[in-house]
């Protein structure tokens, strides 16, 4: 699989350098092959877990899938570049960021004109049978 991924990367660089339909189709074909190989590998791993008939291995596999591996907890840094370890401080920094990016609701709804003719649906009867 690493060779296929290297080939995909090489084809991407070729397409990025010379944007032709041929380079694009070669890259897309290789990309689909890599996706299929990854899918087949994951399928094989799951099959090996179920074929072992070992409850410990099965639960370890399932619990590994259930755990959250978010990036934010590892990469949160303050203004000085130091890692933030306190969850409350991380939450406050996220909140401050979202408040700076999104606009506050002023209660005014934008005016949208009707997109459908009002005479299309005059009556709708709903009955339970």
Domain ranges of the chain: 2-66, 72-100
Distance CA(2)–CA(78), nearest Å, equals 37
Distance CA(92)–CA(29), nearest Å, equals 45
pLDDT of 40 over the 90 cut: yes
What are the start-end ranges of the E strands in 14-68?
none
Residue linked to tokens 């190989």: 37
Mean pLDDT for 26-39 is 92
Q: What is the pLDDT of residue 90?
A: 84
Among 58, 35, 56, CA closest to 45: 58
Mean pLDDT for 121-126 is 73
Q: What count of other Cβ atoms lies within 10 Å of the Cβ of residue 15?
A: 18
Q: How confident is the model at residue 61 (pLDDT cuts 50, 70, 90)?
A: confident
pLDDT of 120 over the 70 cut: no
Q: How confident is the model at residue 109 (pLDDT cuts 50, 70, 90)?
A: confident
């Amino acid at each position: 699989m690493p060779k296929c991924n290297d080939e995909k990367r090489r084809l991407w660089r070729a397409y990025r350098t010379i944007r032709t339909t041929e380079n694009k189709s070669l890259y897309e074909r290789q990309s689909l092959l890599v996706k299929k190989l990854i899918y087949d590998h994951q399928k094989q791993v799951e099959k090996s877990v179920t074929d072992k008939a070992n409850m410990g291995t099965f639960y370890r596999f399932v619990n590994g899938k259930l755990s959250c591996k978010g990036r934010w907890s590892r990469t949160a840094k303050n203004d000085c570049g130091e890692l933030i370890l306190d969850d409350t401080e991380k939450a406050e920094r996220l909140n401050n960021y979202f408040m700076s990016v999104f606009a506050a609701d002023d209660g005014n709804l934008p005016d949208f004109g009707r997109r459908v003719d009002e005479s299309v649906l005059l009556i709708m009867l709903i009955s339970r049978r």
